[in-house]
Amino acid sequence: MERGGYGYGAGALVLQAMLLSGCDGEVATPLPTPTPTAAAALPTPAPVTGDERLILAFGDSLYAGYGLQRGQSLPDAVQARLRGDGINAKIVNAGVSGDTSAAGRQRLAFSLNNLPRKPDLVLLGLGGNDVLRQIAPAETRANMAAMLDELKKRSIPVMLTGMLAPPNLGPEYAGQFNRIWPDLAAQYQTALYPFILDGVIGNPALMQRDRVHPTAQGVAKIASKVAPLVAERLERLERD
C-alpha cells in the first residue's frame, strides 16, 4: 500500500461509510468499562514485572472494537502484546463508536477525571468520522489541538494514531486533512503511528464485510505495529 493513499482503487469510496456503518445506532457512554484482555497466542510470554502502567485508549469505533467479540478490540490486542513482552500495562478502552473529533473534545476531560489516577500515556485516535462528514480539516485540527492542549496541561504523554482521507475527496481536502497528524505530532512532540489502518484496509481477509472495520485478525496486525511503539514510548518516559 502506498503511503498517502488507501490503495484499493474504486474502494476509495468506502470511507463514505467510514466508522459510522452501524455505529449511529449505538449508545455512546462517556467512559466505557474496560474489556478483558483477549487471549493472544504469544510465544513464551515474558514474566510481567514492574509498576502498572495505566494507558487510556481514547478514540472512535476503531478503538471501541466495533463488530468484534468482547476482548478483541485494538486496546485489548495492544495490552496483550505489551504484557506478553513483560510490560505491566493496563489499557482502559474509552473508544466510542461514531465519535468525531468534536465529540471527543467534549468528553476527554470527563474521561480523564473518571480514571482511578492520571494515566501514564494516552493513545489518541479520532478523525475517521470527521472525514466521513467531510468536516473542514481546520475544524478537525482545532479539535485535535484542543485535546492535546488539555493533555499537555495535565502533563500526560500522548501517542497519536492518525487517519488519512480517501483520494476521492480531492487533493486539496486530502492534503489539508492528511497533514493534521504529522503536524500536531511535531508541534506537541508526541509519538505518531501515521495511519491506523495501514496494511489492513483493502485486504478482505483482514476487514469486516463493511470494508472499514478490521476483523480480529486485522486488529492483531495493527497491534503488532502499534504495540512496539507504545512500549518504546513507555520506556522513554521511564528514562526521562
Residues forming the active site = 61, 210, 213
Long-range contacts of 130-134 (CB under 8 A, 24+ apart): 130/100, 130/101, 130/163, 130/177, 131/15, 131/18, 131/163, 131/165, 131/166, 131/169, 131/177, 132/15, 132/16, 132/17, 132/18, 132/19, 132/20, 133/100, 134/169, 134/173
Q: How far is CA 175 from CA 16, 59, 128, 138, 233, in A?
A: 18, 22, 15, 12, 28
Q: The dihedral of CA 64, 67, 70, 76: what is its sign?
A: negative
Sequential DSSP letters for 100-156? -HHHHHHHHHHHHHTSSS--SEEEEE--HHHHHTT--HHHHHHHHHHHHHHHHHTT-
